[in-house]
Structure 1
Amino acid sequence: MDIDPRLIGRVQDVIKAREQRRPRNAAAQQRGIRLLTPQDSTPELWIYDEISWWGVCAADVAAQLNGHRGDLHVRINSPGGDVFEGFAIYNMLAQLDGTVTVTVEGLAASAASFIAMAGDEIRMCLASQMMIHDPWGVCVGAADDMRGMAGVLDSLAETLAAIYAERAGGDVATWRETMRGEQWYNPQEAVDAGLADEIVTPKRGGDNEPDEGQLAASRWDPSLFQFRYAGRPEAQQGEAPTPVDPGEANPADQPSTAADAGGEPSEGADQPASTDREPAAASAAAASAAGEQPETAPTSAVEPEPAPPNPWADAVAALLEPEPSTTDELLMSLQEKGLA
């Protein structure tokens, strides 16, 4: 398959720009993973980066845990990443012979959220969030390739839903439906959903709860990871409104008095209300007889709600946008020189 080299160049430019925007550790040689072994305390494994070969991969975790036995405290602040690397990390932690305690210290999103499910005890810091969603991927090829990729993504989603169901309870189908909506959880919501066991409160500070928009996870740029929302406050999740039976009338639309319903006014009804309507009806009838249209109050047009942003479609459109020097301009130049 021939690919326009200009398109390849623009893809490389996008990847380079993404790498430049990705958060880095202060020291270039320091990866976002570390195993601390303090004296008289449980060893701590820090996972503070994306789950991928350019962040924290399964090989990094295996190298840190080489020969480890006993309890382990895992601290997570990650936007997620590669599903298969996440599976390997989850399985390593779940198979340790000691007690695994997981603390979400900023963000546990996507692959990082199911890695957290490997903990025997899962804790959410007061200023932290968790997010679960359907896996996504990129495929290039024919229709059969696209259908095959869809099957792979469905299979991965079933596996993820089974992990959440095993840890939090419920059935796989329910968790699959929840994942489709990209569900964000603050600490209390994660505990209520069964995805966490407790909330860790700060040892110091006042009694005021932190603003959800000012989390330790704010150093991550959600637009780089194709999330629908930038966090729990932007998701605006809540209970759905109770549906109304179309056959039932809305009480607000019902007439409040017999006169409003077109019947005889009651003794306590305000009589001028009906007399005010009579001249209006007579004027409308006269205007109709004269061939004129009665004036009506202007109605305000209801603007449709804007479509939600689709950063993936914008990125594809930007890649396919032609360079300033187009093929037509090149052909015109060749024709002017008598070469075409």
Structure 2
Amino acid sequence: MTTIIRINAPIGEDIGELSAKWLQSQFPTDNSPIECRLHSPGGSVLEAFAMIDELKAYRGKKTAVVSAMAFSAASLLLSAFDEVEITPNGYVMIHQPHFEDDGPTRSERSFLGSLGGRMVGIYCEQTGKSADIIHRMMSEERYFDAEAAIDFGLADRVRTGLTTAVARVPQRVVAMAKAKETTTATQRWRAAVAEASKTMPRAKAMVYVDKTEPGLRRRMIEEANQ
């Protein structure tokens, strides 16, 4: 029997986040197949690395299903699975690592460079793309819908039939979005995340904005893929 594991929160060790220790506790003891359903905005890169190590150490068959989003650090997890599927509503996002506070020190900048290089290597190994292509994509903060994720090598096939579904965008929100023609959805989303990040970690700020601005992230993704 296949065990379903839902990675549906930010990655990290804080309250409300999912850690490598938590992930390891979800594994069946008989090494039977697992299916991890991802719907996460990302979070700590180091904790994602630890989760990758736990997944690679698990001896049973491992399948990932991107249901709605595997963004930032969450997208790194896809490299640790035997098969990666993505729902028609699924999106993957890759970008450069960063600290949550402004003005990193020289040592922190060096550390970010090391993290970024390791991330490039993970994506290269998974997709078969060159380091230059991956680095450029990460610098652009690139979003991939299901078809693009498969074409790029981040997923293997489309998965249908999941009971988990992405909520439809409320008509009121759509009307509001159309009325705001002076700024793009991407600009509004980034501004909202930046404002929320003043009082909370960035990963939590992304979740907060998703709750307070329903539908804005989806419109941003649609803009990015036009």
> So what's the TM-score if we normalise by structure 1?
0.49
Aligned residues between the structures: 183
What is the match of residue 27 of structure 1?
Answer: none
Whole-angstrom CA distance in 2 between matches of 1:74 and 1:112:
12
Q: Does 1:129 align with 2:88?
A: no
Counterpart of 1:47?
7
**Cα distance change on mapping 1:192 and 1:67 into 2, 3 Å:** same
After superposition, the Cα gap between the structure-2 partners of 1:58 and 1:211, relative to the gap in structure 1 and judged at 3 Å, is closer
Aligned mates of 1:89, 1:238 — CA distance in 2: 29
| Secondary structure of 1:160's aligned partner | helix
Letter in 1 for 2:62: V
Call closer, same or farther: CA 1:138–1:238 in 2, change over 3 Å: closer
Q: 1:115 aligns with which of 54, 62, 77?
A: 77
Supply the distance in 1 between the matched residues of 2:62 and 2:127 (Cα, whole angstroms): 16
Q: Distance in 2 between matches of 1:161 and 1:115?
A: 13
RMSD: 2.8
Q: Partner of 2:220 in structure 1?
A: 234
1:102 paired residue among 64, 67, 82: 64
Secondary structure in structure 2 of the residue aligned to 1:149: helix
Higher relative contact order (CA 8 A, sep 6+): 2
TM-score (ref. length: structure 2): 0.71
Deviation at 1:138, TM superposition (A): 3.9
Matched, 1:83 2:42: no
Structure in which a larger fraction of residues adopt helix: 2
Which residue does 1:150 correspond to in 2?
Answer: 109
Query: Structure 1 residues 93 and 203 mapped into 2: Cα distance closer, same or farther (>3 Å)?
Result: closer
In proportion to residue count, which structure has more strand? 2
Residue pair 1:50, 1:78 contacting (<8 A) in 2 also: yes
Please state if 1:196 is matched with 2:144.
Answer: no
The residue identity in structure 2 corresponding to 1:48 is: N
Question: Residues 75 and 105 of structure 1 are in contact (CA less than 8 Å); yes or no, is this contact kept in structure 2?
Answer: yes
1:180 to 1:103, Cα distance in 2 relative to 1, 3 A: same
Name the CA shift for 1:166/1:64 in 2 (closer, same or farther; >3 Å).
same
Gaps of 5+ in 2: 171-188, 197-201, 207-215
Cα distance change on mapping 1:103 and 1:238 into 2, 3 Å: closer
Q: Once the 2 structures are TM-superposed, how far is the Cα of residue 203 of structure 1 from its aligned partner?
A: 7.1
* Residue aligning to 2:31: 69
Identical residues among aligned pairs (%) = 27
1:95 deviates by: 2.3
Conserved in 2, the CA contact under 8 Å of 1:212 and 1:232? no
Superposed displacement of residue 65, structure 1: 2.3
| Cα distance in 1 for residues equivalent to 2:60 and 2:132 | 32
